[in-house]
Structure 1
Amino acid sequence: MTNLARLVRDIAAEMAGLADRGEVATYIPPLAAVDPRHFGLCVVTVEGAIHLAGDALEPFSIQSISKVFALTQALGKVGEALWSRVGREPSGSAFNSIVQLEREQGIPRNPFINAGALVVADVNLAGHEPRMAIGDLLRFIRYLAEDDGIAIDEMVARAEQATGFRNIALANYMKSFGNIEHAPERTLGVYFHQCAIAMNCRQLAMAGRFLMHGGLHSPGGARVVPARRARRINALMLTCGHYDASGDFAFRVGLPGKSGVGGGILAIAPGKASIAVWSPGLNANGNSQLGTLALERLADATGWSVFGVG
């Protein structure tokens, strides 16, 4: 067993023994039913080694982590024109806040808050029916992960549609400013279904490899995005990927990362590893409590922080 494999197993063992695991999301009923004792971790290294521990093969709802892949797809469609409709600054507000939209004339602060992700979904919907748009995203994620078994959890998608009143308000509010071009219910349909994609830690870490490899699917493999774009997506993940706790995550972990209220986090150590962790209990900011702690342990032990060893 390599030192990294042992470290991954040791971190999982430590997380399994902790009593304070945060609180599962309750506003989406299927997420409220998930056992908070789950913990999974997968590290895929630049050399291609895969290290698994805990519930790393148990599927979970990736929720807002899907925004990374949807953003990648939207940038491939419209390039820099995207930034006329969504900003690139940390929000400092809750992921589903409507307050900033009023002050900033319907332009969301960044593509990882819900309002920004709705604009991205609207971009990806252009020229397609909603079913086609979500199918394109799902195929893209399957390609990245090299796994055709990845699917949408239809029960979660229905629950998103039945309970997503704040997102419905955000979409309609941006429509009033002209920043949602399609009928809001169509854009919302794409967004709700992308959030309902289910993946396990191994699949998620594999799907994130292009951000570790500078935009390549694998070393010497096909180019997914230009290296400059991969670097910029990583920058957005570092500064905006954990909503109003993005600064704290950068301080503690020091890696680009994107969280979801299903308890997952995708983290990237550029040139070193793609990492996925899942623990469904959330902290007060809506990020995985033990997932964040596990990534902090991993970054400390490996020195993978983008800010250097220390």
Structure 2
Amino acid sequence: MAAAGPTAVLSSGKTMPLLGLGTWQSTSEQVINAVKTAIDAGYRHIDTAQVYGNEKDVGQAIKEKIAEGKIKREDVFVTTKLKPNFSRPEHVREAMTQSLADLGLDYVDLYLIHSPINFKYGTDPFTYAGNPEEIYDDVDYIDTWRGMEPLVDEGLAKSIGVSNFNSQQLERLLQNSRIKPAVNQVELHPYLAQQDLVDFCKKNNILLTAFSALGAPARPKVFASGEEEPVLMEDPSVVAIAKKYGKSAAQILLRYHLDRGVSVIPKSVTPSRIQANFDIMDFSLSKEDLASLGQLDRKLRYVGANLFVTHKYYSY
């Protein structure tokens, strides 16, 4: 893979760029333009999900860049995720087939279980007007995983992993899997450092990927706590470190993850920010500055802390 920026070799043996473009909460036109801008800027990792509803847009942008000769398919690492209402093993292939069709691809580089929290087939927890407990599905994520493993055997997914799993759930999955999870994608930033999870994943050769790394300023209200929350990018320590390095607060927060050995997928639809988010390869944070950022941990979760808390596999 012709990749720009740092990479990691996954437990599957595949190589993954550590810096990618997130695409959650973007309109169709925004996604297409953002992905094309990112590829032009040097990104070689694009993250999407079936639940985002934008796989067709991501696929169109990649197709256009391949047609231009900017990239080949093997140059770009594409991650997508299993929709939580397709988590029964008999439905996994259906979801994978639909994602590939929407993306216009023969395979994805990484396929993730989007959440250990699952819902009944055909339901949508984010539009359901009733009590969400009415549409809970208690399918074991171990069974979901066993529906994922054949996708690797058949070449439909080069690697498989999970998202929003805690260390106890990962440990159980490691003990009950033929193919080990290559990645765990979670919310991660200085206010939610999750050092125990970072250590667990490093010990078990699971690459952590950070979402909402900048504090999720544009997240939907349904994911917010409803309380006034501190703005991560305005934290005095973050601002001071940014000034020291001549970088933006966002660039410091992204570099923080790379220097911890964590992958990161910042979302933006603004061309200048997409470029700026990629321009973090020319410096590293000192041990002292990493420690300073580490001291900001307040176990603050910006995304989904109070959602579906009564589910059997609630992970927060």
TM-score (norm 2): 0.26
